[in-house]
Chains A and B, each alone.
Chain A
């Protein structure tokens, strides 16, 4: 199994540009989520989904959109990139949200906004 696949691994954008970070999992997991990781701070939840067609906001959703049209894919869209969105982004998935299932993380996307 490939697990959780994130693309791209690195990206540099200019302020105001838009882009989509891709996340795909092949484990038939219901729960998927996007986090950002900044120096000195823990992982912070941006958006999450508990199944196809269902998404909700996390702790820091402003400036980001998500959709979940299939179980496998959960793309994260930056609408108009800002320097404050420079961060490392992780996608994660788990079988369900029972608490007894591990989260599987992608390798991360390092994003720089100039």
Chain B
């Protein structure tokens, strides 16, 4: 079993829909990152979370440390949101300096 699991693996939505992508992890962490990988391959950092909730434009990320679970929400989805969304966790400070990545959720938003 992978230490970081994402669901769903693939998601197709209609433009305007509310989208949720989930990330569950089985290890202790100091932080969790959400990344976006564009169809061209480039990877950008969306959020870094250690507790609570963050919002940037139409994107919202939440984390529940006790349940070892994070969600990424996209409101009013748009075709330009089509990408692979990747969850990555960071071990506690003082441990190894190694991120652990999920396999990603491939999102396609149809016009």
Contact = CB atoms under 8 A, between A and B. Distances in A.
Interface of A: 31, 33, 35, 40-45, 48, 50, 56, 58-59, 88, 90, 92, 97-105, 107-108
Contacts of B42: 105, 107-108
Contacts of A104: 45
Interface string B16-36: 000000000000001101010
Given A40-B103, A48-B97, A88 B41 contact: yes
Nearest to A97: B97
Contacts of B99: 33, 43, 45, 103
B13 interface: no
Interface of B: 2, 4, 30-31, 33, 35, 41-45, 48, 50, 86, 88, 90, 93, 97-99, 101-104
A86 B91 CA distance: 28
A43 B45 contact: no
A42 B97 contact: no
A99 B94 CA distance: 12
B105 to A, nearest CB: 11
Contacts of A44: 101
